[in-house]
Structures are given as C-alpha cells and as structure tokens.
Structure 1
Amino acid sequence: MYRKIIVAVAIGNMDKGEIILRKAASLLDEGGEIVLLNVIEDVPTYVAVELPANIVEDAMRDGREKLEGLIARTGIRATVEIRNGPPAKAIISSAENLGADLIIVASHLPDFSNYFIGATADRVVRHAKCSVLVDRQKV
C-alpha cells in the first residue's frame, strides 16, 4: 500500500506510539520503509535562560533511546529520526524531504482549545502533501 511511512511519536505517549507503529507495519509495502519521528520543540529564549544548557540535546538523546527501545520491543524494522522545532512543521518537512507517501500521527479527541490554537494533527492534515492517517484510538 505505502512505500515510505512517517510515524510521528510523542515520547510522552509511547503506548499510542506502539499502536501507530503496528498500524504502519500493517500498511507497509514489502520492501517499504517506516521512519519513527520524534520532534523536540524549541525552548523559547526567555525560558531557556532558566534551564540547563543541554536540555534540548538531552531530550533528543532520550527520544532516540525510547524510539529504538520501541523498535526492539515490537520487532518492527524502522529507522529513527529526531528533529527539533514546531512539531507540525517538522513532521511535514520530514515527510517531504524523505519522500513519504503516508504520515501517521496520533491525536487526542479535540477539545475547546483546538478551536483557538489547533492541534499538531490538525496542522499536519491541512498542510501535508501526502496522505495522513490520524489515529484517535484511546489508550
């Protein structure tokens, strides 16, 4: 079905990450590729002065370790990519740079705040140039 799938995983919600990784594996063409992606948001400068200097690097290392653990636990072949920046923009950019034909992202049920701010999944759906599957399965 799909040759290259980006699976965006929030490190704080690895249970959903495992669910969408398994879903990606079921949708992948033989010989296709899954890329597990975690995005570390940039820390605003006014907050960064109060935090340890290496907080972003530590978060990126932690994200890589957790995603590699997810691969080991599931036995599903995938590569890991860690990016930083605004999540939706980083997910879309990764999909475009890697030539993905599907993005899978987990999403919570929309609430009142989505009408003012919008969720990452909303932005990805609106702006991605490839297919997007939004998984709303409860964990």
Structure 2
Amino acid sequence: MVDDRVSIPKLNSTNWQIWKIRVESFLARDDLSKYIEEDIPATDDLKDAAWKTGDRKTKGTIILFLGDNQLSLVKNCVHAKHVWDALRNHHERVSRSTRVALLKRLCSARLQENGNVEKHLSDIEEIFDRLAAAGHVLDTVTSRFACLGS
C-alpha cells in the first residue's frame, strides 16, 4: 500500500517557485488541476454539485499548504481559482526593480571558501527561476557573461 501522506512545506514569502511546482503536482495527482486552470463556470453552471465539491476541495487543499503570513492574501477569495490567482499575482509581481534586484543578486553570488557547492548552485537556480517568473529568461550564454559587463 502506498502512503498517501504528503509533506509540502508551507508557502512563505521566499519559496513560491518550488511550492508552486509541488502544489500543482499534488493537485494533478488528485485530478483537481482544472479548478485552478480553467475559468469558473457561469452562475447557472455553479449549481453542479460535483464542480462545487471539487472547487471546495481544491481551495481547502491550497489553503492548508499556506503559511500564516500568506492567509491575508486569500482570505476573501471564494473559489480555488481566485486563491491561486491571488497567490500568483502576489508572488510573480513583475517590476523592473524586482528584475534588477534579482540580476544584482545573481551577479554578486559567490561561493565562499569551503562553502557548500550544492547549496550555492541551488541558490543560483532559484534566482534563475525567479527571473523567469518575472519574465526575464536568461540563456546559458547570456548568464555566463551577464555579470562580466560584456
């Protein structure tokens, strides 16, 4: 028998990219993805009991994976899609200052002497993921020379 318990760290202000992948996978496993991906049915269609149940289950699941500091972002959301969109809009804010701050962080990333290489590479990958979410994708050539001023 497979253990159904899943441990997903709660969403906080720094782990959106990884949290999003885990929660999307969890929802897909339980066939609940449509409640965050598809448009909410018209009012007449909301009378469908199966849809209401799935939407409630999806919303509850997402909220259970939120840290306390994230609850204020979704407290007034009625449907799972509203919850998901509110979280995505908050964590994937696209602003020039956000992209510049991430690029500066990338350029200043240095492995300390006797530092943990795996953690260092993980931190850099996180910056790349956050840049991609902010709409600034770096290719491998660009990323190698971005901090050299070429």
Pick the TM interval, shorter chain: under 0.3
1 or 2, which has the higher helix percentage? 2
Q: With structure 1 as the length reference, what TM-score do the two structures score?
A: 0.28
1 or 2, which has the higher strand percentage? 1
